[in-house]
Structure 1
Amino acid sequence: MSYKDKSLVFQVEEETELLKFLLKVMSSRSRNSVKSILTRGQVSVDDHMETKHNYPLRPGQTVTVLKNKEAKKESVLTGMSILYEDKDIIVINKEAGLLSIATEKEKKLTAHHQLMEHVRREHPANRIFVVHRLDKDTSGVMMFAKSENIKRKLQNSWKDMVKERTYAALVEGEVQRKQGTLKSWIKENKAHVMYSSSRKNDGQLAITHFKKIQSNPNFSLLELQLETGRKNQIRVHMQDLGHPVVGDKKYGSTQNVIGRLGLHAQILSFHHPRTNQLMLFRADVPKSFLAKSK
């Protein structure tokens, strides 16, 4: 075990499950106390937040536990950090495992709810509005608006205002092409799974540009630029390419070697909705992506 200012850091030495591991390394705490630490989202495995009791751990992984005192402090956000904030927008770096917005099962442990609490500390009438979303298991840069007016302005002019959306994807197998463009019309089936059609106008047009950063016979790290932003676009296009995103069982992946989806929103660049200033925000590629594709 080692200490950071705000957290406890443990190294995994043998295969086990997360709750069992925490009960062992935090033996001075009661079972219920350890369970609540997990449920509150105070635990991260490598580079993602994890709340599942039976999450499988492998030797070499790092488990980080946010100390209770820090978690209770008003300023600490769980599974995310603020990259930038002004009177109009908030830009965050979201960890994999954190929901962007509430679902029927989870209302509070979301980026939206935490940011709402964050701005209401300044004034109870303050609010946060969703501009775009990242899937729960996708990490990286995400932006929220602080008023309905700014939200509408961003959403209505999204294509003109956003200048760059770059993702990092860890995919299965060795991609042979150094770069290329994937273009298709994306549709949703009755099971809510997106798929590509090659027939013109048979669905929503989706265009993804890719560039290979590094690869080995098992995995490739790709840099992806979105020309359009369709639901599950990257995941569908990587399946089309024959190299599904690691951990993406829904779209053809057969293995999960990093314990999360291999997708990360690396760069978001846009014109500020009020000042029109060009802004660029970056979140580093997760270390597990780099290590597996060396």
Structure 2
Amino acid sequence: MQPTSPVVDTPLPLAVLFQSADLVAINKPHGLLVHRSPIASDASEFAVQILRDQLGQRVYPVHRLDRKTGGVLLFALHEAMNSAMQKQFADGLVAKTYLAIVRGYTPDEQTIDYPLRRDDGVVQDAVTVLKTLQRTEIPLAFGKHATSRYSLVELTPSTGRMHQLRKHMAHILHPIIGDRPHGCNKQNKLFLDQFSMNTMLLHANHLAFTHPQTGDHISINAPLQAEFKRMMQTLFSNAHIGFV
């Protein structure tokens, strides 16, 4: 039976990827909420509180990652930097790339320009650039097919809408493995049954921006975490060492 909530698959304390006098970035585990939320009453641990206790000071998340998404998560260490970095995110000045394992063979490259509707009904422009890094076909029967096909893709959003990457991949019929509710429940069950895998295979692997005060170019990369790495090694026998 499928668990009702994701399991944090990276041990604590949180892995710090970058730290300066006013910023810190962590490799957020899959399954860890950024902060307390009324829609996730089952959670007892949150990145904000864990990092605060780990560093011994207040921290401010300047952007968000979905609970089930792992990877680079940036925090400010004081209010002025929090405001400055939130403005950079809002103005589209922060470069973000993600890795995902999705169903089927994706095109070599594709720009997904598909507006998304918010919960309040407002429709917003949303654009994601997809690049296929690897494809695989494994001897695992699924439905009427004797084999199963998957792709490792790099996703670069130029807008930052809620669940944008998840919705965009579902829209082009290549849902992210482990995604609920936007993904394919039959594929998710297949991965749970065959591989005991219940993580959403979406990873925020790169973040780049200009430091608001010093003008320095900051580039942060997050290594893949345990379950994503295991699925890479399981599905892609020729996985590039740079990803794992």
- Whether the 8 Å CA contact 2:127–2:157 is kept in 1: the answer is yes
Give the C-alpha shift of residue 215 in structure 1: 1.1
Q: Tell me, yes or no, if the aligned pair for 1:181 and 1:207 is still in contact at 8 Å.
A: yes
Q: Using the alignment, how far apart are the partners of 1:161 and 1:210 within structure 2?
A: 18
- 2:171 corresponds to: 240
The match for 1:37 is: none
In the alignment, what sits opposite 1:225? Answer: 156
C-alpha displacement at 1:253, in angstroms?
1.5
Give the structure 1 partner of residue 50 of structure 2.
Answer: 114
Look up the match of 2:88: 157
CA distance in 2, matches of 1:169, 1:17: 21
Q: Which residue of 2 aligns with 1:123?
A: none
Question: Matched residues, percent identical?
Answer: 31
Q: Are the equivalent residues in 2 in contact too, given 1:141–1:282 (CA < 8 A)?
A: yes
- For residues 31 and 92 of structure 2, the distance between their equivalents in structure 1, rounded to whole angstroms, comes to 28
Q: Deviations over 1:199-247 (max 9, x none)?
A: xxx7111110000011124211100111111110000000111111101
The 8 Å contact of residues 107 and 113 in structure 1, kept in 2 or not, is answered as no
**Does the CA-based 8 Å contact 2:97-2:206 persist in structure 1?**
yes
Paired with 2:42 and 2:213, the residues of 1 have a C-alpha distance of: 33
Distance in 2 between the 1:291 and 1:208 partners?
26
Are 1:211 and 2:147 matched, yes or no?
Answer: no
Query: What CA distance in whole angstroms lies between the structure 2 residues aligned with 1:81 and 1:204?
Result: 34
Tell me which of the two structures has the higher relative contact order, counting C-alpha pairs closer than 8 angstroms and 6 or more residues apart. Answer: 2
Counterpart code for 1:90: V
Deviation at 1:283, TM superposition (A): 1.4
Query: Once the two structures are superposed, what CA deviation does each residue of 1:54-110 show, in whole Å capped at 9, x if it has no partner?
Result: xxxxxxxxxxxx6xxxxxxxxxx44x3111112211110111111111124267511
Secondary structure at the residue paired with 2:114? strand
Counterpart for residue 270 of structure 1: 209
Q: Matched residues in 1 for 2:91 and 2:123: separation?
A: 22
Q: Distance in 2 between matches of 1:246 and 1:90?
A: 29
User: What is the CA–CA distance in structure 1 between the aligned matches of 2:232 and 2:179, rounded to whole Å?
Assistant: 18
Aligned length: 210
- Aligned-residue RMSD, C-alpha: 2.7
For 1:164-183, what aligned pairs fall within 5 Å after superposition?
164-175=95-106, 177-183=107-113
Aligned equivalents of 1:109, 1:155: Cα separation in 2: 24
TM-score when normalising by structure 2: 0.77
Give the CA deviation at 1:117: 1.4
Amino acid at match of 1:109: E
**Does structure 2 retain, via aligned residues, the 8 Å contact 1:161–1:271?**
no
Aligned to 2:222: 283
User: Following the alignment from structure 2 to structure 1, what is the Cα–Cα distance between the partners of residues 114 and 94?
Assistant: 21
**Structure 2: segments with no counterpart, 5+ residues:** 138-148, 192-196, 237-244
Secondary structure of residue in 2 paired with 1:102: coil
Higher strand share: 1
